[in-house]
Structure 1
Amino acid sequence: MNNITLPSPHKILDVIHETNAEYTFRVAYDDHDNIMYGQFFQLSIPKVGEAPISVSGKGDKWLEFTIRKVGKLTNGIFGLQPGDMVFMRGPYGNYFPVDEFKSKDLVVIAGGTGLAAVRALLNHFYEYPEEIKSVNFIAGFKDINSVLFEYDLKKFKTKFNAIYTLDNTREDGFETGMVTAYIEKIPFSTFKDYNVIIVGPPVMMHFAAKECLARGAEESKIWVSLERKMSCAVGKCGHCKINGTYICLDGPIFNYTRAKDLID
């Protein structure tokens, strides 16, 4: 019987410095084809701790994890270099229903590091544009020094209807203001069949969903990720439990018809 809580060592292949506070770690992993968009792993360092991290990219025998330096574990991970080992267990959680997205219009609204949870999905539709009718993409960041995946953002603009925003500053290629201010530019009235993905800080997801609904989107067409609440990943610690729902077991991806009631 497999022990779902037992981590195994994986070699770090590369470390990409996205910003001063976020690094992307490319890690050796053989079974990448069976990782679904939206799933996560528990990354750990022995005697330091562990944390749930979404898969931000995948390729031939590797996975990528984009990590923000916010605590004891992540501080330790930031000290690792290519060739070092990081311990992992997973994958855990459900995933975005990609098959339901195909041949339809897709809207993706991401705030800050929430972009990491949908980056691999966006790259999939960038590589296979024939699978999707259109992609309308809005990504917001605090300032220019917080912008993630600059290379990806540039290429996404060549195939997606993309808008990038900075909260309070002006820079070439970026609008100024919160992502919610630009949802009015999404042509919901022209969509016959569509889906909406919203990922980011809880407040941002709340108001972005409300704005989409005000613009005519249906609750059943909206999907969100509640990954920030997770801890043990296997439903034992209770950290992510809201009423009778365990985010790590029942999520982290939820349809808005259910997610709207998952409030602490």
Structure 2
Amino acid sequence: MENIMMPEPHRILKIIKETKAEFTFRVQCDAETRHGQFFQLSIPKVGEAPISVSGKGEDFVEFTIRKVGKLTDGIFGLRPGDMLFMRGPYGNAFPVERFENKDLVVITGGTGMAPVKTLLNHFYDHPEICKSVYHIAGFKDIDCVLFNEEREKFKGRFQTICTLDNSEADGYERGMVTEHIRKIPFESFEDYNVVIVGPPVMMHFAAKECMANGVDEAKIWVSFERKMSCAVGKCGHCKINETYVCLEGPVFNYTKAKELFD
């Protein structure tokens, strides 16, 4: 009988330094993944954690990881050629087919840009299937800014706003993402969707600000990750009331997600 909890080794192909605390790991993998899904990454005898896919190709996936604990300390000690243990992909994805031929607004906070980067790349590579893309990317300060190369690329086709919470730098706005939502011309859109990904408090207030600007909550989508220890609905750590986040999420429509925020 197949053990669905058993991870398999995958070779690290490349490691990209994003900031002092965040690195992107490119790992050999040919599993088919959808935008917004996650894998369980592990090191034997150290631990396991859910990490969203931040990039993908024909024979690789990428994970942008922040060094915050025992497992990530161990992952940061690995080098290209070493093995990283993985199982997945898991979870519901963004409903890309519902976004096609409409306007799309993507609002991200900090590392919240990682789970939507493949989605942004999809619409960058296929501009004919989306009317327009607006992207607001917020970061704490200039030292926390991620994905410089791709953000610059996105500026060529998307309407982009990059903002720093409480500091200033050339090429960046200042203020929380909520302060810039009013700049999105929602009233001019015939049909559209809004994707919000970041810390729970950021998603909560960004969604509220969108709705204050006339957005129907049913048009809002979030990625809500919470204690997804097993990823297969067995351990119950991620369960909120009757909802298993690992199975029904991490991507939720806001009509459901608004009931899940702690």
Q: Quick one: distance in 2 between partners of 1:257 and 1:115?
A: 22
Offset, 1:263: 3.0
CA contact (8 A) 2:25 2:62 kept: yes
Match of 2:16 in 1: 16
Give the alignment partner of residue 100 of structure 1, picking from 98, 102, 107: 98
SS at match of 1:227: coil
Q: Which residue of 2 aligns with 1:40?
A: 38
Contact in 1 for aligned 2:39/2:51 (Cα 8 Å): yes
Aligned to 1:259: 257
- 1:237-252 matches, cutoff 5 A: 237-252=235-250
> Counterpart in 2 of 1:170?
168
Structure 2 residue aligned with 1:68 = 66
CA contact (8 A) 1:242 1:263 kept: no
Question: Does the CA-based 8 Å contact 1:41-1:55 persist in structure 2?
Answer: yes
Q: Tell me the C-alpha RMSD between the 2 structures.
A: 0.9
Residue type of the partner of 1:202?
Answer: P
Q: Alpha-carbon deviation of 1:227?
A: 1.6
Give 1:190's aligned residue.
Answer: 188
CA distance in 1 between partners of 2:93 and 2:99 (Å): 12
Aligned residues between the structures: 262
Aligned partner of 1:49 in structure 2 is: 47
Counting only pairs closer than 5 Å after superposition, residues 111-260 of structure 1 correspond to structure 2 as: 111-260=109-258
Contact kept? 2:226, 2:245, Cα under 8 Å: no
In the alignment, residue 220 of structure 2 is paired with which amino acid?
A: I
Tell me the alpha carbon deviations over residues 174-216 of structure 1, each in whole angstroms, 9 at most, x when there is no partner.
Answer: 0010000000000110111100000000000000000000001
Deviations for 1:212-231, whole angstroms, at most 9, x for unmatched residues? 00001111100001024422
User: 1:135 & 1:3 partners in 2: Cα distance?
Assistant: 41
Q: Secondary structure at the match of 2:180?
A: helix
The 8 Å contact of residues 35 and 116 in structure 2, kept in 1 or not, is answered as yes
The Cα shift of 1:4 comes to 1.9
Q: Tell me, which stretches of 5 or more residues in structure 1 are unaligned?
A: none
Query: Secondary structure of the equivalent of 1:89?
Result: strand
Question: Which whole-Å CA distance do the structure 1 matches of 2:100 and 2:227 have between them?
Answer: 29
**Shift in Å at residue 237 of structure 1?**
2.0
Q: What residue ranges of structure 2 are gaps of 5+ in the alignment? A: none
> 1:2 Cα deviation (Å)?
3.5
Instruction: Give SS of 1:42's match.
Output: strand
Taking a change above 3 Å as real, the CA distance of residues 38 and 176 of structure 1, as seen in their structure-2 partners, is: same
* SS in structure 2 of the partner of residue 203 of structure 1: helix
In structure 1, distance between residues paired with 2:260 and 2:226 = 13
Question: Is the Cα–Cα contact under 8 Å of residues 26 and 63 in structure 2 kept in the other structure?
Answer: yes
Contact 1:231–1:239 (CA<8 Å) still a contact in 2? yes
Identity in percent:
71
Flag as ranges the 4+ runs of structure 1 deviating above 6 A: none
Q: TM-score, normalised by structure 2?
A: 0.98
| Matched residue type, 2:44 | P
Q: Deviations over 1:83-128 (max 9, x none)?
A: 0000000010010000110010000000001110000110111111
Under a length normalisation based on structure 1, what TM-score does the superposition of the two structures give? 0.97
Alignment partner, residue 26 of structure 1 = 26
Q: Decide whether the 8 Å contact of 1:223 with 1:253 is kept in 2.
A: yes
